[in-house]
Amino acid sequence: MTPILQNLVEMTGHRDHLRLEVSVLSTLQKLTSVIEVRALELFTDSGQAHVRPRTWVEDGQLTSTDSEAATDPRRESLDHYPALRECIETHGDSALASPRKGRHVLWLPVWMHEKVHTCLEITQSRPFSAHKLDVLKGVFAVYQNYQSLLDYSERDALTGLFNRKTFDEQFSRHTMQGLPSRAGAVVETLAAEESASSTEPIQQWLAVVDIDHFKQVNDRFGHLYGDEVLILVANILRSSFRSHDRIFRFGGEEFVVLLRSTTLSTAHKVFNRFRTAVQEYPFPQVGQVTVSLGFVSTTKGAPVEILGQADQALYYAKEHGRNQVCYYDELVAGGELASKVVGNDDVELF
């Protein structure tokens, strides 16, 4: 088996987007004349298109970050990449440029749902031959097709949010954000910036969200309108949280949010801002819809225990008026809830 086929076999053995991205860059980096490979993230901030490296080579090793793109100091305006910008504007499949002698760059945008959020960038020391372009585009096509398959398997079909089966791995990555690592360097910088103006510690948070009286929506207006409510709530969730936070639909009208690297007071504000956004949204035919939310720090405990605590806070909110945000530790400190360790054999969540 040729080296490139061996790399393709390894690449398609991954079941995670980030590992797949690292694997395809590793494959491309081994090709002759290639001197640099990067995965770029494209995003919009304040109406302006930007680019930032998400996976790159540092000290001979591939390094990744999933920190918030909008505050990444590495970000650049897309205008600094005119060939790539034109490629995206014309819905092209590749772009070439030679910014200076001895550097020839190929960009391969990843199109998904008529949008580009990721682009592979390959830089080599000599111009790209027709044969080399065919090889690179062939590897890229395998990567893009496999990305689509992974995306389909990880997403809820109705809302497009992450599904339940992706939660454990995302939770593990989420709780590692505070640990020192090269991939987490940007996250630590952002955490330090927030803590500089606050005495509160930076933590990671998990929230469980439930749509109030959702059964009544289905019973009164039918499941078609019920599905529309779920889709619109999912859209409000997306717009209420940052790109590096994670949102899941666990089933029915229940959602889970992993909120990264912020203080307790900020978490309260963010979750209440989302609750208010839902309350004020004019849902077609249905009118007003509200949500209840319970949240907890992810500092200690297994996923099932932390989910159980957030769930307890959620159901306290629902049993005491709904349309509110409750913090588990505050309820325990106030004597409203008894602190309880939840084990795998104690309860089946959702």
Question: 95-107 pLDDT, tens per residue?
Answer: 999 988 989 999 9
Catalogue the active-site residues: 253
Band of residue 2 on the pLDDT scale cut at 50, 70, 90? low
Split at pLDDT 50, 70, 90, the class of 341 is low
Confidence of residue 251 (pLDDT cuts 50, 70, 90): confident
Closest CA to 291 of 339, 244, 240, 330: 240
Q: Is the pLDDT of residue 337 over 80?
A: yes
pLDDT of residue 183: 33
Say what the pLDDT of residue 6 is: 65
Closest CA to 37 of 57, 54, 52: 57
Q: Which sign does the torsion angle of CA 343, 347, 348, 350 carry?
A: negative
Residues 333, 330: Cα–Cα separation, whole Å: 5
CA nearest neighbour of 323 among 178, 185, 221, 212: 212
- The candidate with the shortest Cα–Cα distance to 195, out of 98, 104, 264, is 264
Residue 81 has pLDDT above 70, yes or no: yes
| DSSP symbol at 128 | P
Residues 149-167 as b or e (16 or more Cβ within 10 Å = b): ebeeebbbeebbbbbeebb
**What topology does CATH give the domain 164-333?**
Alpha-Beta Plaits (3.30.70)
Q: What is the CA radius of gyration of the chain?
A: 23
| 203-211 vs 254-262, strand pairing mode | antiparallel
Element (H, E) at 117: strand 115-124
CATH top-level class of 3-154: alpha beta
Percent of the chain scoring above 70 in pLDDT: 85
Bigger pLDDT: 318 or 29? 318
pLDDT tens digits, one per residue of 116-155: 989 999 999 999 999 999 999 998 998 888 888 877 878 8
Delimit the CATH 3.30.450.40 region(s) of the chain: 3-154
At residue 70, the pLDDT reads: 76
In tens, the pLDDT along 150-172 reads 778 788 889 989 998 888 877 87
Cα 16–Cα 260–Cα 64 angle in degrees, nearest 5 = 40
Q: What is the mean pLDDT of the chain?
A: 85
Q: What is the DSSP letter of 270?
A: H
pLDDT at res. 4: 65
Least confident of 13-27, 85-99, 102-116, 273-287: 13-27
Q: Considering only 53-57, 167-171, 234-238, 314-318, which range has the smallest mean pLDDT?
A: 167-171
The per-residue pLDDT for 210 is 98
- Residues 30-80 have pLDDT tens digits of 888 899 999 999 998 888 999 999 999 877 788 888 777 778 889 999 999
Residue range(s) in the chain whose domain bears CATH number 3.30.70.270: 164-333
For residue 322, count CB atoms less than 10 angstroms from its CB and return exposed for 0-12, middle for 13-18, buried for 19 or more. Answer: middle
How does residue 224 score in pLDDT terms, banded at 50, 70 and 90?
very high
Does the pLDDT of residue 181 top 50, yes or no?
Answer: no
Given a cut of 70, is residue 182 above it in pLDDT?
A: no
**Tens of pLDDT, residues 190-221:** 344 444 445 789 999 999 999 999 999 999 99
